């Protein structure tokens, strides 16, 4: 992470702190999706989208038609066929029962009598195994727009041509690529540099830069003639740009601000579905969850480790409060963010506050890549004296993430699974060494961070 990238990170964090909870106020009203279909939500981020022409069918008829098209066995509990027992052999669970939900005003509303409602063009229905409406996969993007009418199998539903998409954030670019969308990208922000295919296609001129992270250029975006522009919901400039582009007739998708891992899963589904590649989302999400399960299995039941994460080594750096993806990741690997109770976002913290929290482990993001033990030791010599009066420093538990490794902890995208494994090894090294004495990480990580990954389930 160079100085410019550091500035980018801080700018993004300020934007999150300012616009969170109010991103969509005063914007274009969400329009109804003109494509009807059924979302079968099995729960646990296992979801299927089935486009259908309803033609006045009731709720049970459309479910039966959707299951017929997918080849799913459908079993009712009663002879009258009014209570669903299982879909594709996935039966009701305690507290999670199959029910029908209708997308109304951007929100899912449960329907108690599916036979009493008939559906037509533009209706979107979910048959979900869920606790209630809040447990169903999100039906709209962060600004309240549905996203199923844009594409089918990577082709625009308006033109029939191969999609042309633009991404305005590195985390969104990585999400698009994770679901097989690299070939459709024609433009990104200046800082999108992963996966390697992005860098290569930029060098070849196949992908154009459309501005910085916090200052996307409207004219450059429009010039590329995109079918869909993907924006990051945690950035006010992106939300405003989406409104401007929509008024110009360009479809946009605004991802959710990732304050926890569940919202990352939602974003993966949202991005894939908007590109007509929803079938790819489940495999990515399951691989992500598999990594978390594997890492958690190695760690086992261990005492939580007090952890401090800093976006620089400045005496009073930016850090993560609660309701952030960083705090969520730390908790997933049996850690406790020492500032989890301080703030609901990212904020600056004084060195005295850091000392008062007495963290056991420090995770520091550093501008320049550290590639040797000597460089790491020189870095430690510059640590503020107040920071040194903590268990983390005294016990040698200062981990520095630099270069591409720093990107892992500053981008709420699919590589957070990799960040989780590395954080797990920093917080509980003995558990990983018990499984494999060679499975350790150095106190500094850079562009070679992948050399220390072992438990990734299908992720790259």
Q: Residue 33: its pLDDT value, please?
A: 64
Percent of the chain whose predicted confidence (pLDDT) is above 70: 92
Question: Where do the domains of the chain lie, and which CATH numbers do they carry?
Answer: 16-29+145-276 (3.40.50.1980), 37-135 (2.170.130.30), 290-452 (3.40.50.1980)
Over 90: is that where the pLDDT of 457 sits? Answer: no
Mean pLDDT of 65-87: 96
Whether 170 and 51 have beta carbons less than 8 Å apart is answered as no
Mean pLDDT of 170-190: 98
Whether 224 and 167 have beta carbons less than 8 Å apart is answered as no
Q: Residue 86: its pLDDT value, please?
A: 98
Whether 43 and 95 have beta carbons less than 8 Å apart is answered as no
Q: Residue 7: its pLDDT value, please?
A: 37
Over 80: is that where the pLDDT of 10 sits? Answer: no
Over 60: is that where the pLDDT of 13 sits? Answer: no
At 82-118, the pLDDT tens digits run: 999 999 999 999 989 999 999 998 899 999 999 999 9
The helix (H) or strand (E) run that includes residue 94 is: none
Nearest-angstrom CA–CA distance, 150 and 157: 6
Q: Residue 343: its pLDDT value, please?
A: 74
Q: Which of 15-29, 248-262, 334-348 ranks highest by mean pLDDT?
A: 248-262
Pairing of strands 398-402, 361-366: parallel
Dig out the tokens for 219 from the structure: 């004219």
Q: What is the mean pLDDT of the chain?
A: 91
At 119-168, the pLDDT tens digits run: 998 999 999 999 999 999 999 999 999 999 999 999 999 999 999 999 99
Please report, for residues 128, 282, 326, the alpha-carbon distance to residue 93 in angstroms, rounded to integers and kept in the order given.
12, 20, 32
Whether 214 and 168 have beta carbons less than 8 Å apart is answered as no
Nearest-angstrom CA–CA distance, 52 and 120: 10
Least confident of 11-25, 44-58, 152-166, 328-342: 11-25
Dig out the tokens for 79 from the structure: 């002879």
pTM above 0.85, yes or no: yes
Q: Residue 29: its pLDDT value, please?
A: 43
Cα–Cα–Cα angle for 121, 247, 233, rounded to 5 degrees:
85
Mean pLDDT of 66-83: 96
Mean pLDDT of 403-429: 95
Whether 291 and 420 have beta carbons less than 8 Å apart is answered as yes
Over 50: is that where the pLDDT of 200 sits? Answer: yes
457 versus 330: the higher-pLDDT residue is 330
Least confident of 5-14, 74-83, 451-460: 5-14
Taking only Cα atoms into account, the Rg of the chain, rounded to an integer number of angstroms, comes to: 23
Over 80: is that where the pLDDT of 312 sits? Answer: yes
For residue 336, list its beta bridge partners. 306
For residue 86, list its beta bridge partners. 75, 91
Name the band, by pLDDT with cuts 50, 70 and 90, for residue 459: low
Please report, for residues 10, 132, 298, 359, the alpha-carbon distance to residue 431 in angstroms, rounded to integers and kept in the order given.
34, 38, 6, 20
b/e code 308-320 from CB counts within 10 Å (16+ = b): bbbbbbeebbbbb
Q: Write the secondary structure of 302-323 as one string of H (helix), E (strand) and C (coil).
A: CCCEEEEEECCCCCCCEEECCC
Least Cα distance to 195 among 400, 368, 404, 369 occurs for 404
Nearest-angstrom CA–CA distance, 200 and 220: 20
Q: Residue 458: its pLDDT value, please?
A: 72
Q: Residue 73: its pLDDT value, please?
A: 98
Cα–Cα–Cα angle for 248, 251, 253, rounded to 5 degrees:
130
Please count the CA atoms within 13 angstroms of the CA of 144 that sit on its side-chain side: 16
Nearest-angstrom CA–CA distance, 276 and 327: 32
Q: Residue 345: its pLDDT value, please?
A: 87
Name the band, by pLDDT with cuts 50, 70 and 90, for residue 355: very high
Please report, for residues 311, 368, 371, 409, the alpha-carbon distance to residue 375 in angstroms, rounded to integers and kept in the order given.
19, 10, 7, 21
**In 131-264, beta strands by DSSP E:** 151-152, 155-156, 165-167, 185-188, 208-209, 228-232, 251-255
Q: What is the DSSP letter of 248?
A: T
As a whole number of Å, the end-to-end CA separation of the chain is: 20
At 26-52, the pLDDT tens digits run: 344 445 467 899 999 999 989 999 999
């Amino acid at each position: 992470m160079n100085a410019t990238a550091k500035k980018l990170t801080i700018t993004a964090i300020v934007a999150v702190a300012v616009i969170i909870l109010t991103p969509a106020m005063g914007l274009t009203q969400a329009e109804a999706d003109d494509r009807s279909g059924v979302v079968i939500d099995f729960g646990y981020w296992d979801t299927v989208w089935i486009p259908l022409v309803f033609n006045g069918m009731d709720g049970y008829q459309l479910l039966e038609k959707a299951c017929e098209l997918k080849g799913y066995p459908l079993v009712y509990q009663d002879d009258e066929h009014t209570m669903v027992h299982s879909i594709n052999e996935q039966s009701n669970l305690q507290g999670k029962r199959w029910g029908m939900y209708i997308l109304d005003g951007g929100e899912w509303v449960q329907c108690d009598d599916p036979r009493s409602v008939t559906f037509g063009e533009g209706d979107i229905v979910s048959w979900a195994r869920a606790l209630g409406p809040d447990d169903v996969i999100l039906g709209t993007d962060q600004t309240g727009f549905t996203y199923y009418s844009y594409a089918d199998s990577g082709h625009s539903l308006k033109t029939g041509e191969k999609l042309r998409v633009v991404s305005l954030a590195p985390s969104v670019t990585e999400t698009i690529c994770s679901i097989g969308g690299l070939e459709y990208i024609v433009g990104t922000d200046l800082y999108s540099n992963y996966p390697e295919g992005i860098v290569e296609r930029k060098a070849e001129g196949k992908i154009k830069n459309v501005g910085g992270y916090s200052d996307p250029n409207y004219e450059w975006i429009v010039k590329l003639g995109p079918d869909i522009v993907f924006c990051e919901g945690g950035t006010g400039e992106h939300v405003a740009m989406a409104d401007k582009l929509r008024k110009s007739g360009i479809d946009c998708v605004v991802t959710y601000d990732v304050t926890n891992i569940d919202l990352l899963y939602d974003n993966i589904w949202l991005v894939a579905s908007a590109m007509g590649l929803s079938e790819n989302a489940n495999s990515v999400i399951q691989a992500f969850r598999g990594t978390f399960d594997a890492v958690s299995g190695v760690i086992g039941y261990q005492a939580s480790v007090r952890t401090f994460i800093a976006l620089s080594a400045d005496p009073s750096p930016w850090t993560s409060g609660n309701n952030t993806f960083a705090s969520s990741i730390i908790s997933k690997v049996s850690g406790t963010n020492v500032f989890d109770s301080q703030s609901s976002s990212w904020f600056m913290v004084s060195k005295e506050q850091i000392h008062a929290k007495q963290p056991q482990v420090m995770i520091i993001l550093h501008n320049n890549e550290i590639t040797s033990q000597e460089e790491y030791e020189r870095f430690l010599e510059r640590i503020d004296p107040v920071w040194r009066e903590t268990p983390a420093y005294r016990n040698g538990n200062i981990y520095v993430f630099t270069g591409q490794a720093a990107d892992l902890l500053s981008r709420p995208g699919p590589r957070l699974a990799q960040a989780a494994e590395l954080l797990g090894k920093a917080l509980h090294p003995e558990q990983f060494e018990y499984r494999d004495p060679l499975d350790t990480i150095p106190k500094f990580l850079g562009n070679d961070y992948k050399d220390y990954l072992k438990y990734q389930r299908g992720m790259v």
